[in-house]
Amino acid sequence: MKQFRLFLLLVMLIPSVGFSQFFFDVSVDTAWNPTEVVFPPSPLQHQILFVGGDDVVQTTATYGNAPGQALAKQWHDFIGFTPDNDSDDLGWVSINHERIIANDSIGDGGGMTAFKVRRDPVTDLLEIVPQTLSDGRSGEFFNVDFVNTVGETGMNCGGITSSVDGRIWTAEEWFRSSNGSLGGQVRDLDPWTINTDIPGNFAGQTIEKYQNFNYMVEIDPKEAVAIRKQYNWGRQPFEGGAIASDNRTVYLGADATPGIFTKFVADVPGDFRSGRLFAYKHDAMGEPWVELPSNDLNVSLNFASEALSLGATMFNRLEWVTYYDGKIYMTETGRDNIGDRLKNGAAIGGVLDYHWVEPVRERHPELSEKTDDQILDFVMAGFYNDYYGRVLEFDPATGLVTTYVNGGPFLSSSPEIADYPDKHLSNPDGLNVMVTNGRPYMIICEDLNGTSNGRTPAGVSNRTCEMYLLDMSITDPSIDDLVRVSIVPLGAEVTGAQPTSDGKTILVNSQHPSSSNPYPYNNSLTYAITGWDEAITAITSLDELEKPALESLDFQVWPNPVSRVLNFNKVTDAALYNNSGQRIKVFRGLKSVDVSDLMPGVYFLKTLQGEGRKLIIQ
């Protein structure tokens, strides 16, 4: 199992540590000389950059209050990155705050924070760059001003980092159906008059306050201000999006069941104020798209029903969307109980495509004699519990959406930790592609919808979310090809997953962790994992390291220097002793041990059967 555990707050390890200590001596003879296992130093470094509720952001004059500063909002989600091509600094980082909460200084609703980073020439770590913006604000972290520009935002979840030039959009996700659904965290509920430079019947129109939420919203991270809400892309529970290399085509995903896969094609490259709007329809004649007016406010406000009435293809909660090498990848995170949601969408006109067939047939062998269309009827009727979700691939050249990698494996019940699979992908959400040393790696983040059916081991109630890398040079990838690279504190969602432009660092968010965690892991925070240009070499050699151990029946131990994890070839009860022979840890029923908290030195590992290894951590 390939693991890189950044934090020590690991739910999966807690039930395994401390049991059966009476089976192990409290000390061992330091003259004992078992086989040595050398643990090289990790090429990766990690650092915390930005802590919600703790770091201070610079604010503009808002709601009649003077410019000043305030504690940053929480619930960090999407991370955008805009390269700086005009200086030695690396670029600007944009952080979404998904939670909606009233705030006199920052503004009601959700929000964003922007800051700039550079790379230390000696350590390669990131440094926050102090800035003075054109509006006079000075500091390190800056609240993005929505209130005084486009109106409050809410539920700032995913977003877009343009693959062309690093332009940033934030996505307003949870769909608002009334002013009351704003939860009292947006206090000004007066009707909103649209002020926009988007052509059509938008500017000057007055809408209900809640109808000014649920758009893609472009921001300027360099000045920490919003630019425009994209009324011409439709009002949807947006999660993710991507801009193709032509700088005209935008692909968008909506987190709903049914969710619509949307495309906007700008008339002029880089100018997304005017263009043509489409919804994906896999069975359309010719191109698999149906067109909707992009300049009609009524269509925008009712986009989902308008698209479904034209026969749009229905998805089960589309999350993040990313572009690489001419193709679009998006996470369909799944939903345990689809119920009548797809059936209701079909009543309007929505249809299902055939990417459902593979996971349903795998889960339900009793349907082997059914046709593919009958499989779709099974899904439409709400009989398929989509526990794990998947990553989808859309190829514009063929017009087909196919499954790139399925979640799972399916488990009818949650196994004990000792029997838990080495790799299990549940409810993929955050998604990106990192290119380092010329090689592309997909970054996949989990956001567990539940704990049943093996999404966590039996008896583990916290939803422990993990982040994986997937080598995109692999043909027909599967769960076995995933490399686990990070796990966040108890209760948190792992998200963000934004590589820097030089391919050395992945920026990651730990969102809404348990408040019982020790500081700072009881706050949403942004951290950086640096050194991927060196670590990728180690990761690609891991399979060769593991083969001898897996093929041997004897007890085998091998280190993962990238992850700081000690792997065993079988489930093991073991104790760890320091160089003085004193017992410091006991592990029960594990196939790997996280040693990231151990200082360099000599240690002894002893199993319940008396087998041992001398561990040298460099």
Q: Residue 534's pLDDT is what?
A: 83
Determine which of 337-341, 371-375, 607-611 has the lowest per-residue pLDDT on average: 607-611
Query: pLDDT digit string (tens) for 380-410?
Result: 999 999 999 999 999 999 999 999 999 998 8
**Tokens representing 43?**
């090429």
Whether residue 29 has pLDDT greater than 80: no
d(CA 289, CA 317): 19
pLDDT band for position 539 (cuts 50, 70, 90):
low
- Residue 213 has which token pair? 């939420």
Over residues 189-200, the mean pLDDT reads 97
Q: What value does the mean pLDDT take over residues 187-205? A: 97
- The residue whose two tokens read 């939903």 is 335
Return the closest-CA partner of residue 345 out of 427, 254, 210. Answer: 254
Condensed to tens digits (0 to 9), the pLDDT of residues 406-453 reads: 999 888 888 887 678 878 899 999 999 999 888 999 999 999 888 888
Check whether 614 has a pLDDT greater than 90: no
Q: What is the mean pLDDT of residues 205-217?
A: 98
Class at the top of the CATH hierarchy for domain 14-43+555-617: mainly beta
Q: What is the mean pLDDT of residues 567-574?
A: 77
Higher pLDDT, 104 or 1: 104
In this predicted structure, which of 1-15, 246-260, 353-367, 464-478 has the lowest mean pLDDT? 1-15
The token pair that represents 164 in the structure block: 């062309």
Give residue 552's pLDDT band: very low, low, confident or very high (50, 70, 90). Answer: very low
Residue 563's pLDDT is 59
pLDDT bracket for residue 461 (50, 70, 90) = confident
Burial (CB count <10 Å: 0-12, 13-18, 19+), residue 370: middle
List where CATH 2.120.10 sits in the chain. Answer: 45-336+386-530
The mean per-residue pLDDT over the stretch 478-484 comes to 90
Q: Is the dihedral of CA 444, 450, 454, 460 positive or negative?
A: positive
272-312 pLDDT, tens digit per residue, is 999 999 999 999 988 999 999 999 999 999 999 999 999 99
pLDDT interval class at 14 (50, 70, 90): very low
The average confidence (pLDDT) of the chain is 89
Q: What is the pLDDT of residues 305-333, one digit of tens each?
A: 999 999 999 999 999 999 999 999 999 99
At residue 545, the pLDDT reads 38
**pLDDT at residue 544, as a whole number:** 41
Strands (E), 72-204: 76-83, 91-97, 111-119, 126-129, 131-132, 138-139, 142-143, 156-161, 168-172, 192-193
Q: Which pLDDT value is given to residue 538?
A: 59
Q: Give the position of tokens 């691939």.
A: 393
Residues of the chain with CATH 2.60.40: 14-43+555-617
What pLDDT score was predicted for residue 500? 96
- pLDDT, tens digit (0-9, with 9 covering 90-100), for 504-526: 999 999 999 999 989 999 999 99
CA atoms within 13 Å, Cβ hemisphere of 426: 25
Which residues are paired to 443 by β-bridges? 432, 469
**Residue whose tokens read 């942004």:** 526
Q: How far apart are CA 611 and CA 592, in angstroms?
A: 16
pLDDT of residue 4: 33
> Could you say which of 3.40.50, 2.120.10, 2.30.30, 1.10.260 is the CATH number of the domain covering 45-336+386-530?
2.120.10
Q: Dig out the tokens for 552 from the structure.
A: 């041997």
Helix (H) or strand (E) holding 303: helix 303-309
